Amino acid sequence: MTQIESKSHQALKNILLHSAISVVEKEGFAGLNVRKLASMAGCAIGMVYKIFENMDDLAIHVNAATLELIDSRMAQPMAATDPKEAIHELAERYIDFSRRNFHLWSMLFEHRMERDLPEWFHASIARNFRHVEQALAPWTHGDPQAAALHAKVVWAALHGICSLSISGKLDTVGAQSASILARHMLENYMAGLEANSEGGRSPGADGNSTLQKG
């Protein structure tokens, strides 16, 4: 591929990706198909398959773009200076993103891939986890394994809260709002981390946590 061809290839890829994101934002991934994408980009259907192997490949790139948006939102300067409030602020940003970008956010978790995710995509996920890992630093005492473990727990819990909120099922668990539920969850979780820290060990650092046993 010549330099000109490479630039043309990348330009078309960007157009196709932006078009796909636009469709998903409005209709969800179910509303996206190759014919619609080719029409929006002004190219032949065959060109779409020269850029993306299949719909799974396209979905991975759309999800990667969504992760970049989340990462950018999480990386913005914090208003909070207290470590606990900083974690609450991150949670609020995540909840707000899920509400404002419902279809893109949902696609991250709902689209089932028929292939293994590439390493570069796992790196995109890790970049998002790092924000929570850094926020939890006061309780993990520089232990990267403990920080990674607890960041995953917090993300998983927040995802569950967002899912209940967006699906209108918070009433089922008797919660008033996603923000209130997230604050209670984080307060209790951080209290547990503090209790473990006062006991003289970094939580999760000994490899014997309940999560790891499960």
pLDDT in tens, 121-145: 999 999 999 999 999 999 998 899 9
- Can you name the CATH fold of 1-52? Arc Repressor Mutant, subunit A (1.10.10)
Q: How far is CA 68 from CA 49, 65, 75, 124, 201, in A?
A: 24, 5, 10, 7, 35
Q: Considering just the CA atoms, what is the radius of gyration of the chain in Å? A: 20
Answer whether 116's CB lies under 8 Å from 41's CB: no
Q: Reply yes or no on whether the pLDDT at 214 is more than 90.
A: no
Q: How far is CA 32 from CA 19, 70, 113, in A?
A: 10, 22, 16
Q: Reply yes or no on whether the pLDDT at 169 is more than 80.
A: no
Lowest mean pLDDT of 3-12, 148-157, 159-168, 201-210, name the range. Answer: 201-210
DSSP 209: -
Q: Reply yes or no on whether the pLDDT at 154 is more than 50.
A: yes
3-class state of residue 44 by DSSP:
coil
CA atoms within 13 A on the CB side of 139: 25
Q: What is the mean pLDDT of residues 33-48?
A: 94
Q: What rounded mean pLDDT belongs to the chain?
A: 86
In this structure, the dihedral spanned by the alpha carbons of residues 91, 94, 95 and 96, taken in order and rounded to 10 degrees, is 120
pLDDT of residue 212: 38
Burial class (CB in 10 A: 0-12, 13-18, 19+), 114: exposed
Q: Reply yes or no on whether the pLDDT at 64 is more than 90.
A: yes
Percent of the chain with pLDDT over 70: 86
Q: What is the mean pLDDT of residues 104-108?
A: 94
pLDDT of residue 174: 58
Tokens of 44: 């032949």
Provide the whole-model pTM: 0.83
The answer to whether domain 53-213 has CATH 2.70.98.10 is: no
Q: Reply yes or no on whether the pLDDT at 114 is more than 80.
A: no
pLDDT of residue 199: 59
pLDDT of residue 211: 36
Domains in the chain: boundaries: 1-52, 53-213
